[in-house]
Amino acid sequence: MPNTIDPNDVRIFSGRSHPALAADIARHLGLSLDATHYSRFSNDNLFVQLGASVRGRIVYVVQSLIPPVSDHLLELLMMLNIARSAAAREVHAVIPYYSYARSDKKNAPRISITARLIADLLETAGATQVMTMTLHSPQVHGFFSVPADPLTARGMFVSHFHNRGYSPESTIVVAPDYGRASSAARFANQIGLSAISAEKTRLSDTEVYISDLIVRQVEGFSRAIIYDDEIATGGSIVELSRLLIESKIQEIIVVCTHGLLIGDAIHRMVAIPQIKEIVVTDTVPIPPEKRAPILTVLSVAPIFSEAIRRNYTRQSIGELFAFGEEQD
């Protein structure tokens, strides 16, 4: 039984989506990233070469499914496939942001449950295990045929709000829709607050309608912590904030794992004076121009590196994250 990671027994490669996070994860493990060479042929075909022998070794490939998602996905599939074909002992897909987790059901005829399709593609390509974070719904875990570890950032969020002294009389945790409600309730419970859920109806990819039933529920509270899994254009947050402010909420804090912050999302939220803080993680790279003063970015590198370390040394990952459940 190994107690420490043998650097010669492990390879960590990064796709092109988020090399900074991959390097951080490696650094926390006392390792360094192994080189990967990428290029693109003139016919737009991708080319990838892993820069270190993987024969008989445990390989981790780190890739977040950020835009351009299709390129990053195919690059990941190719990297997994190379590792398998080159006789790696285990091939782990480490996907901090699994964007397609949102496509987890058929709410219209003849559409794709793409979260399942991609789980199957990962296995076909050669993944023997998958590590990811905060899936859109906990059931997506069941889409994987190989062992999967959906990690959570909730523990980090709980620590972040520790000792703030928010009282349950003044502060309420708000889930933007029913799908987030259980997760928000678990977070609220860990910091001694209550949670409610708005009822959001999605009119289109960028427009939402939120029922005003929320008004009754936040009556009497002055501070709201909106707890979500992903901020893309920020539309839901902006609309929910409008309703909360109408309901006399004076201070809003936004907490979210995947800070995609597409387009002017960050500016739309910063423009609302009641929003005092936005807390996200770095599962998705956040460029300097989006790093507004009220934005706090917590790094998930310690979580992923610890999960890898425990996986390698055969310690329970569940035990480690005793402060939270296996997934949101």
- Which sequence positions are flagged as catalytic? 200
Considering only 16, 199, 299, 309, the residue that binds a copy of itself (CB under 8 A) is: 199
190 part of the interface to a copy of itself, by CB under 8 A:
no
Choose which of 63, 64, 103, 171 interacts with a copy of itself (CB under 8 A). Answer: 103
Tokens 């022998």 correspond to: 53
CB of 115 to a copy of itself, least distance (A): 7
Residues 125-144 that bind a copy of itself (CB under 8 A): 125, 129, 137-143
Contact criterion met (CB below 8 Å) for 120 and 145:
yes
228's CB contacts (< 8 A; 6+ apart) are: 175, 176, 180, 236, 237, 254, 255, 256
Contact between 243 and a copy of itself by CB under 8 A: the answer reads no
Q: Give the C-alpha separation, 263 to 260, whole Å.
A: 9
Among 27, 32, 147, 203, binds a copy of itself (CB under 8 A): 147
**Binding residue (CB under 8 A) for a copy of itself from 12, 15, 63, 84:** 84
Q: How many residues bind a copy of itself (CB under 8 A)?
A: 107
* The one among 4, 32, 49, 167 contacting a copy of itself by CB under 8 A: 49
Q: Is 326 in the site for a copy of itself (CB under 8 A)?
A: yes
160 versus 286: smaller Cβ distance to a copy of itself:
286
Positive/negative CA dihedral, 316, 321, 325, 326 = negative
Binding track, positions 106-125, relative to a copy of itself; x by CB under 8 A: xxxxxxxxxxxx--xx--xx
Q: Print the SS3 string covering 158-226.
A: HHHHCCCCCCCCCEEEEECCHHHHHHHHHHHHHCCCEEEECCEEECCCCCEEECCHHHHHCCCCCEEEE
By CB under 8 A, which span of 155-163, 241-249, 267-275, 316-324 interacts with a copy of itself?
316-324
**Paired sense of beta strands 90-95 and 194-197, if any:** unpaired
* Strand, helix or coil for residue 290: helix
Residue of 149, 159, 157 lying closest to 304 (CA atoms): 149
Taking only Cα atoms into account, the Rg of the chain, rounded to an integer number of angstroms, comes to 20
Q: Which of 100, 161, 166, 187 binds a copy of itself (CB under 8 A)?
A: 100
- In this complex, which beta carbon is closest to a copy of itself, that of residue 201 or of residue 276? 201
Q: Which is nearer to a copy of itself, 160 or 190 (CB)?
A: 190
Question: Closest approach of Cβ 97 to a copy of itself, in Å?
Answer: 9
Name the minimum Å distance from CB 163 to a copy of itself. Answer: 26
| 18-26, 44-52, 267-275, 298-306 -> range binding a copy of itself (CB under 8 A) | 44-52
CA distance readout (Å), 236 to 108, 152, 177, 202, 227: 22, 22, 9, 9, 11
According to the binding rule CB under 8 A, does residue 196 interact with a copy of itself? yes
Handedness of CA 253, 320, 309, 124 (dihedral sign): negative
Site string for a copy of itself, 249-268 (x = CB under 8 A): -----------x-xx-----
**List 23, 158, 170, 217, residue binding a copy of itself (CB under 8 A):** 217
When the beta carbons of 238 and 262 are compared against a copy of itself, the nearer one is 262
Residue 289 makes contact with a copy of itself by CB under 8 A: no
Helix (H, G, I), strand (E, B) or coil at 65: coil
Q: Would you state the structure tokens that stand for residue 177, as one six-digit string?
A: 């829709």
Q: Does 104 bind a copy of itself (CB under 8 A)?
A: yes
| Residues 256 and 229 sit within 8 Å (Cβ to Cβ) | yes
If binding is defined by CB under 8 A, does position 219 make contact with a copy of itself? yes
